[in-house]
Amino acid sequence: MTDYTLGELAQKLGATLEGDAATVIVGVAALEAAGEGMLTYAESDKYREQVESSGAAAIIVGADFPATAGKSLLRVERPKPAFVAAMELFRPARAVIGIHPTAVIADDAQIGEGVGIGPLVVVDSGAAIGAGSRIRAGAYIGPNVSVGEACDIGPNVSLMDDTRVGDRCILHPGVVIGADGYGYYWDSDHHHKIPQLGNVVVEDDVEIGANTCIDRATLGETRIGRGSKFDNLVQVGHNNQIGEHVILVSQVGIAGSSKLGKGVVAAGQVGIADHVTIGDGVQIGGQGGVNTDIEPGEKVWGSPAKPMAREMREIAAVGKLPELLRSFRQQQRDLDALRDRIAALEDKPAK
């Protein structure tokens, strides 16, 4: 990890420095944990007290953050993006340099300039790896797979036949792309497998979390749009069309042949049925179950998913059920008592 002076950081981050430019910064940390030699940030002036009590060597703050005596400040327009840029500067290098002698590479595979290939990697026939990409230990790059430039393919990733991965993609450990889609039909007395002859296309700048699986299409392609980010343990079924900049949080499962528009967000454990169309900008709350189309811009929750405001009202109503049940039972007792009194009056002889 490289150390920087505050002067160097101010230049790299486009910040205005209030403090000693020669102060050495050795790393980054959260505001509440930062100590000597560390850089942190405060997103707004509501963190002023934490800044004043922080042991950090320097704090990235907004341009209008109040002056703070005794603290070195790096003033920027947007503190969080600046801090992320600083994190990238301090990120440890994870280089894979050259081709490890235990790697197995087909004679007709195309390996771009500056590619790093780690131990026990297999690059099969017809595969192509773009310049500057890193293929980490134990990965499998199948027949006719293409990996773009500047990609980071994690340990034990499997890219099956004909998969296409764009530029600057990050695939975390254990990702499987292009395994067979889940397709069968009932043939008299058994499930007969349907050949899965399509492929998967992953566009540029996609990041896919550990142990996520994306199935090849039965025919045609399964496509993941540019800039989409998937968490760990996501399942994308065959022939799905995932739009640009989609967010899928852990344990989301999408059945086959559904379409997600640009900027869709699905929170943890959301389930999406097959042949569903979800419009641009839709947000789906955690553990939501989607079995019908959703119009663009909707916020939904629940299973089956419904407009979020309605679902919250229904949840609030359910929370009142014990009280309502007690009230109902009391009313029933009062009604029974009233009936008994009326019956007694009716049975009483007239004077």
Q: Are 258 and 275 in contact (CB under 8 A)?
A: yes
Vertex 122 angle, CA 120 and 126, to 5°: 160
Residue 123 in 3-state DSSP? strand
**What is the gyration radius of the CA atoms in the chain, in angstroms?**
29
Annotated catalytic residue within 190, 238, 245, 275: 238
Q: State both tokens at 221.
A: 């392609």
Rounded-to-integer distance, Cα 60 and Cα 25, Å: 12
Number of neighbouring beta carbons within 10 Å of residue 216? 24
Cα–Cα distance list, 144 to 153, 159, 279 (Å): 16, 10, 33
Residue 33 in 3-state DSSP? coil
Contacts of 150 (CB under 8 A, 6+ apart): 130, 131, 132, 133, 167, 168
The count of residues in the chain is 351
User: Is there a catalytic annotation at residue 245?
Assistant: no
Show which residues are catalytic: 238
